[in-house]
Amino acid sequence: MTASIIDPERAAAIDFSNDERARYSRHLIMPEVTLAGQRRLKAARVLCIGAGGLGSPSALYLAAAGVGTLGLVDNDRVELSNLQRQLLHGTSDVGRPKLESARDRLAAVNPNVQVQLHPARFASDNAQEIVADYDIVVDGSDNFPTRYLSSDVCVWARKPNIYGSVFRFDGQTTVFGPHLGGPCYRCLFPEPPPAGSVPNCAEAGVLGVLPGIIGTMQAIEAIKLIVGQGETLLGRLLHFDALKMKFREFKLRRDPECPVCGDHPSIMEPIDYEFFCGSHAADEAQDEADTIPEISVTELKSRMDAGEPLTLIDVREDYEYEIARIDGAHLLPLGQLRDRMEEIPRNGDVVIHCHSGMRSAHAVQLLQQAGYRNAANLIGGIDAWSREIDPTVPRY
């Protein structure tokens, strides 16, 4: 059984108004919570990293549950494409800082909660100072540098770190806490994946409901650690496949050789996480990219306007072509390029585009390997075209 991570003296000093007793009555009558557990919740200080897909459900439910202090770190603004899953923000919030809409929404859910805003990117130079004020970290970040950083900082500060990640129909969550007998993020992933090998939500997509489920489970784990009930996911990774509607569980162990939480740690303070997670690989990719001819959207537009003959190839998928297209582009999805290469002329200029320029760079490389010398990559893809040239082309 889990022991509460909240200092008993702090919890004992907590009192409730009659309104609060009514608000939390469904908790108070649960033998696993009671007034004692609710006091721990009100005494608790939880930090949510990110006010996005995972941070939205965790923060909303933790606020509703009566967590006394909720910290939020984020420095993004609300975009239209966030609203499909980030329920802290509404349509009228588009363009506002996420922390402002989050603060308003959480105050509407439960005005008894102290919401502390950290309008910054969670980074090596502020992470330890921010985490120091909290009992638990709920990591709702969507990138590897932040996950390594938040895990490392929690190991050093001896605070549980509740991990969550989502990808299309798949999600996973666990609780990291070497001081509680579990592993840390580095025990699981000693090395980050090669830069660019794992697409994020913007590149790969995510079912909007999925972070709702994973983020809600992160909130449950936080509540169990605070109240001191049940068995947490410490030492277990829970994987959820929404397409099959199946949960699977994997055992995790602390690695005694882990450079952060192991028996002989070699990393004792924040490192350069961007570098660790691939700026080196990104440099290599840049060297490769340097050999790929490129064209900007403005240059393409002026050449098209001048009536210059050129072939525009769109290597996105057909369902992306349905959403938005550049007039005159010929659709040839990247996966079919090898088999349909003869459709691309070897003479005259060929411009290849995709959504943001990554897949099309790869396509130009494939063409170069096949002897093509006339293909160039459209920098920024159709997204740049929509932003800079033709706003009637929908962004996605």
Q: Annotated active-site positions, please? A: 201, 354
The nearest distance, CB 151 to Zn ion, in angstroms, is 8
The nearest distance, CB 193 to Zn ion, in angstroms, is 17
Q: Which CB, 105 or 186, lies closer to Zn ion?
A: 186
Nearest to 260 by CA among 323, 184, 322, 335: 184
Q: How far apart are CA 51 and CA 253, in angstroms?
A: 30
Residue nearest to Zn ion (CB): 258
Q: Which CB, 152 or 314, lies closer to Zn ion?
A: 152
Q: Which CB, 48 or 258, lies closer to Zn ion?
A: 258
138 touches 48 (CB < 8 A): yes
The nearest distance, CB 180 to Zn ion, in angstroms, is 13
The nearest distance, CB 187 to Zn ion, in angstroms, is 4
Determine how many CB atoms are found less than 10 A away from the CB of residue 35: 14
Alpha-carbon torsion angle 141, 143, 147, 149, nearest 10: -110
The nearest distance, CB 155 to Zn ion, in angstroms, is 7
271: its two tokens:
């490192």
**61 to each of 217, 247, 374, how far by Cα in Å?**
10, 22, 55
Q: How far apart are CA 6 and CA 136, in angstroms?
A: 10
Alpha-carbon torsion angle 81, 206, 354, 280, nearest 10: 100
The nearest distance, CB 54 to Zn ion, in angstroms, is 22
Q: Which CB, 160 or 333, lies closer to Zn ion?
A: 160
The nearest distance, CB 287 to Zn ion, in angstroms, is 33
Q: How far apart are CA 291 and CA 276, in angstroms?
A: 25
Enumerate the H helices of 44-196 as residue ranges. Answer: 55-65, 98-109, 127-131, 144-157, 185-188
Q: How far apart are CA 175 and CA 154, in angstroms?
A: 11
The nearest distance, CB 255 to Zn ion, in angstroms, is 6
102 touches 60 (CB < 8 A): no
**Phi, psi at 337, each rounded to 5°:** -60, -45
Q: Which CB, 147 or 362, lies closer to Zn ion?
A: 147
Determine how many CB atoms are found less than 10 A away from the CB of residue 249: 11
Q: Which CB, 227 or 258, lies closer to Zn ion?
A: 258
Q: How far apart are CA 163 and CA 152, in angstroms?
A: 12
Residue 53 makes CB contacts below 8 A (sequence gap 6+) with: 82, 85, 86, 140, 142, 166, 201, 206, 208, 211, 212, 215
Q: Which CB, 221 or 255, lies closer to Zn ion?
A: 255
Q: Which CB, 177 or 215, lies closer to Zn ion?
A: 177
Using CB under 5 A, list all residues that contact Zn ion.
Answer: 184, 186-187, 258, 261
Q: What is the number of helices (H) and of strands (E) in the chain?
A: 17, 13
Q: How far apart are CA 126 and CA 115, in angstroms?
A: 18
